[in-house]
């Protein structure tokens, strides 16, 4: 009951109409017969009559005229019928939407992704979702890690794909995959095709970085050393996006570190080559799915994570299953 409904009810000493009463009134008006209206609703005729009578008592007016042959809707009944229909339709829509929301992979879902994941994972996700979850209404939001986590906490997105671990007590996370971090160099560079490259050497070789706020920047600096930021190639040391950095590398302005999933898209667009970093296994980052711990949709997010993993396998992205 809304505040206004409660105020009106108190003022006139009447109770608010129930959904059952409104549904009975609408059925009687549309069928113009109590017996057929009761049959349509699947209730007894006496129950239907009592519901309409109670609604009339609450309204303080006769809504229908009864006879043995037919029903006539009164002038007051005709005025109130539109409101009754709207209330019944709204209740039905609510029930239908709630039923859809209960499905594991159906209905609206707002998914956030960080920029160094979105362009490379989305094609796999969208293709897999079209096949396996056609009723999923996906809305995509791309943002850097910090504002994306803020949007997740504020309820502006339902779940987010980003680099793990977050280690936030109010968020839950599931790993999706691990991907290698590789060095991108200009075509013909001395490092092209090399393996076992020391991360410290990369940090001293004109390292190009994403602008502050990107988690890949932080991961690269942690890998290559903080001093790498001071050795960047002047104004070209920072860029907004991976495609921009790749073009800077192709132009000979430096080298950079990229996730392996980006290579299929970015490396084919420019004259660049790759080198692998030292390590057994080589340096990797973990990508996972996060959501609010307070959400009751944990089962849905677990199924979404499984869908993402299947999409990754189907697209044959160069990743390893997270363990």
Taking residues 20-35, report their average pLDDT.
92
Higher pLDDT, 134 or 270: 134
Give the other-Cβ count within 10 Å of 312's Cβ. Answer: 23
Closest CA to 149 of 186, 176, 114: 114
**18 SS3 class:** coil
Residues 189 and 152 placed together within one structural domain of the fold: no
Q: At what angle do helices 19-31 and 45-59 cross, to 10 degrees?
A: 110
Give the other-Cβ count within 10 Å of 299's Cβ. Answer: 10
Residues 49 and 197 placed together within one structural domain of the fold: no
Higher pLDDT, 104 or 157: 157
Please determine, for residue 204, whether its predicted confidence score (pLDDT) is greater than 70. Answer: yes
**184 SS3 class:** strand
pLDDT digits (tens, 9 = 90+) for 185-195: 999 999 999 99
Cα–Cα distance measured from residue 323 to residue 309, given in angstroms and rounded to the nearest whole number: 13
Residues 295 and 205 placed together within one structural domain of the fold: no
Give pLDDT, residue 302: 94
Higher pLDDT, 235 or 156: 156
**270 SS3 class:** coil
Dmax (CA) for the chain in angstroms is 98
Residues 272 and 290 placed together within one structural domain of the fold: no
Q: Given pLDDT bands bounded at 50, 70 and 90, which one contains residue 203?
A: confident
State the CATH number of the domain containing residue 76. 1.10.10.10
Give pLDDT, residue 226: 62
Give the count of alpha carbons within 13 A of 246, CB side only.
20
Q: Given pLDDT bands bounded at 50, 70 and 90, which one contains residue 16?
A: confident
pLDDT digits (tens, 9 = 90+) for 64-82: 998 777 899 999 999 999 9
Whether residue 117 is contained in a domain is answered as yes
Taking residues 117-143, report their average pLDDT.
94
Q: What is the pTM of this model?
A: 0.70
**248 SS3 class:** helix
Taking residues 282-288, report their average pLDDT.
96
Residues 112 and 89 placed together within one structural domain of the fold: no
Residues 154 and 172 placed together within one structural domain of the fold: yes
User: Which domain, by its residues, includes 234?
Assistant: 179-276
**Boundary-marking domain end, from 86, 101, 116:** 101
Please determine, for residue 95, whether its predicted confidence score (pLDDT) is greater than 90. Answer: no
Please determine, for residue 6, whether its predicted confidence score (pLDDT) is greater than 60. Answer: no
**51 SS3 class:** helix
Q: Given pLDDT bands bounded at 50, 70 and 90, which one contains residue 184?
A: very high
Give pLDDT, residue 43: 92
Please determine, for residue 102, whether its predicted confidence score (pLDDT) is greater than 70. Answer: no
Whether residue 151 is contained in a domain is answered as yes
Considering its fold, how many domains does the chain have in total? 3
Residues 224 and 158 placed together within one structural domain of the fold: no
Residues 43 and 167 placed together within one structural domain of the fold: no
Residues 190 and 258 placed together within one structural domain of the fold: yes
Whether residue 119 is contained in a domain is answered as yes
Please determine, for residue 225, whether its predicted confidence score (pLDDT) is greater than 80. Answer: no
Whether residue 115 is contained in a domain is answered as yes
Higher pLDDT, 46 or 103: 46
Residues 90 and 60 placed together within one structural domain of the fold: yes
Residues 185 and 312 placed together within one structural domain of the fold: no
The phi and psi torsions of 144 (rounded to 5 degrees) equal: -65, 165
Q: How far is CA 62 from CA 14, 103, 163, 170, in A?
A: 15, 43, 65, 55
Whether residue 281 is contained in a domain is answered as no
Average pLDDT, the chain: 88
Residues 148 and 213 sit within 8 Å (Cβ to Cβ): no
Residues 95 and 115 placed together within one structural domain of the fold: no
State the CATH number of the domain containing residue 201. 3.40.190.10
Handedness of CA 94, 99, 102, 103 (dihedral sign): negative
Give pLDDT, residue 75: 94
- 98-102 long-range contacts, Cβ below 8 Å, gap at least 24? 100/135
């Amino acid at each position: 009951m809304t505040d206004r409904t409660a105020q009106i009810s108190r003022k006139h000493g009447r109770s608010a109409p129930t959904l059952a009463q409104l549904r009975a009134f609408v059925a009687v008006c549309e069928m113009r017969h109590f017996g057929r209206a009761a049959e349509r609703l699947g209730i007894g005729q006496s129950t239907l009559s009592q519901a309409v009578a109670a609604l009339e008592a609450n309204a303080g007016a006769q809504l229908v005229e009864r006879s043995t042959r037919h029903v006539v809707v009164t002038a007051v009944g005709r005025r109130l019928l539109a409101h009754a229909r709207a209330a019944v339709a709204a209740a039905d829509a609510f029930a239908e939407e709630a039923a859809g929301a209960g499905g594991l992979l159906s209905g609206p879902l707002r998914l956030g992704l960080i920029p160094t994941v979105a362009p490379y994972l989305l094609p796999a996700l969208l293709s897999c979702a079209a096949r396996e979850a056609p009723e999923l209404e996906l809305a995509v939001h791309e943002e850097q890690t910090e504002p994306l986590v803020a949007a997740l906490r504020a309820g502006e997105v339902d779940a987010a794909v980003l680099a793990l671990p977050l280690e936030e007590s109010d968020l839950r996370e599931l790993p999706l995959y691990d991907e290698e971090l590789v060095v991108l160099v200009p075509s013909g560079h001395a490092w092209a095709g090399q393996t076992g490259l020391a991360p410290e050497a990369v940090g001293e070789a004109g390292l190009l970085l994403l602008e502050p706020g990107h988690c890949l920047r932080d991961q690269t600096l942690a890998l290559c050393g903080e001093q790498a930021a001071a050795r960047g190639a002047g104004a070209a040391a920072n860029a907004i996006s991976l495609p921009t950095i790749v073009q800077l590398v192709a132009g000979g302005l430096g080298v950079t570190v990229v996730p392996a999933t980006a290579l299929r898209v970015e490396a084919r667009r420019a004259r660049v080559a790759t080198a692998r970093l030292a390590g057994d296994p080589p340096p990797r980052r973990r990508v996972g799915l996060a959501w609010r711990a307070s959400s009751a949709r944990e089962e849905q997010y677990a199924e979404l994570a499984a869908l993402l993993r299947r999409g990754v396998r189907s697209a044959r992205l160069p990743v390893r299953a997270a363990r």
